[in-house]
Structure 1
Amino acid sequence: MFENEEGHAFSLTDEPFERVPQGGPDLTAHEARAHEDLPFVWWVADLVMQRDRRAWWMRHWLLGTSSIRTAEVFELAEPILLVSHDDAGYWQLIGTSDADDSTGMVGHLYHAVDEDPTLIDVLDLPPGYSATRARVGDPWTRHRD
């Protein structure tokens, strides 16, 4: 429950929201999913994803994609030199230290990109691929695992 400026209580289901179906004020959810413009909307979204690398960051932010990082990478003591997107869909971020299953730390993938924007170049790795580099600033080399 909320109060407006006059002190009257209301909830989000009160006017004007109670009249809005799932698909918006003019469409039901079923009609929205079957709308003739939907393929065009998805085409535009796919085109943006292809042309703007930053869109991959947004996708991972929206999905809350998790990544497993070595403790050194998580604590920002080492740069990320290996990015792996394994067949199970897990993202692994590894620095110069050997990856040890017992010390892996989980964090959102987009936080790693915030700390190292060069990771944007590999956010489109399909499952079963990895990318390596010798040092930060070097180009990424992609590999099929």
Structure 2
Amino acid sequence: MSLKVTEGRLTETRVGAGVERRAFGEFVGPRGELASYAFGWTTGTESHVARLTVGIGAGNPGGASFHAIVFDNEGSYACSLVDEPFERVPEGGPDLTAIEARAHEDLPFIWWVVDRVMERDRRARWMKHWLLGSTSIQTGEVFERTEPILYVSHDADDGLWQLIGASDANPATGKLSHLHHAVEYDPTLLDVLDLQPGESAYRTGPDAPWTRKPS
């Protein structure tokens, strides 16, 4: 059996000047191990800290729900267990405090699940770009949303993301913006948020599939 991460629902709630997003999903490991997860983040706040829950063993001895915060750690992400519960998930059990979670024999499995979810759930990639403050440069037409995004690249030299529409890029009219904001207006970008430095993707229209171009 192959490892499987299945994306579930995504909720969006207006909170002041920002939006609180909560994403849910299910995990199946290569030996049939089951876990449910939820993670969330809120835009428009000074604090760039996300939250997550992973639940295992519902109804069984040792079943539990683990809760943590997720934060920027030198260009990647890191997690820290917390006492406060975040979400209820189907495979979860009793809510563990941070001390109880650290003592749980399945904690290494929980962190392994978190890493796989961060790799494979497209919404987690979106959250990660929010955590890291990934920067994009957009053509004026894309920034003003008069043209759809047809070309995306992740520069190898400086890590900058380029978002280009039908018009040629003009450095004089380019606009800098956080990458996570672009996803709010064009959710199809979720499919290319994992481009590695030096890679790019293009499409013929806003409803066409992305074609990736390796570095």
Q: Same fold (TM over 0.5)?
A: yes
The residue type equivalent to 1:84 in the other structure is: S
Q: Deviations over 1:69-95 (max 9, x none)?
A: 000000001000000001021100000
Give the helix-richer structure, 1 or 2: 1
- 2: CA distance, partners of 1:115 / 1:24: 33
Structure 2 residue 147 is matched with structure 1 residue 78:
yes
Instruction: Give the aligned length.
Output: 119
What residue is the counterpart of 1:64 in the other structure?
Answer: 133
The residue type equivalent to 2:145 in the other structure is: L
What residue is the counterpart of 1:5 in the other structure?
Answer: none
- 2: CA distance, partners of 1:24 / 1:142: 39
- 2: CA distance, partners of 1:115 / 1:109: 11
Structure 2 residue 172 is matched with structure 1 residue 102:
yes
TM (normalized to structure 2)?
A: 0.49
What's the offset of the Cα at 1:50?
3.3
Change (3 A) 1:40 1:84: same
The runs of 4+ residues in structure 1 deviating greater than 3 Å are 36-42
TM (normalized to structure 1)?
A: 0.71
Q: Percent identity at matched positions?
A: 63
Answer with 1 or 2: which has the greater Rg.
1
What's the offset of the Cα at 1:112?
0.4
RMSD, aligned CA: 2.6
What residue is the counterpart of 1:47 in the other structure?
Answer: 116
- Which 5+ residue runs of structure 1 have no aligned equivalent? 1-22
What's the offset of the Cα at 1:144?
2.0
What residue is the counterpart of 1:139 in the other structure?
Answer: 209
What's the offset of the Cα at 1:102?
1.6
Give the strand-richer structure, 1 or 2: 2
What residue is the counterpart of 1:8 in the other structure?
Answer: none
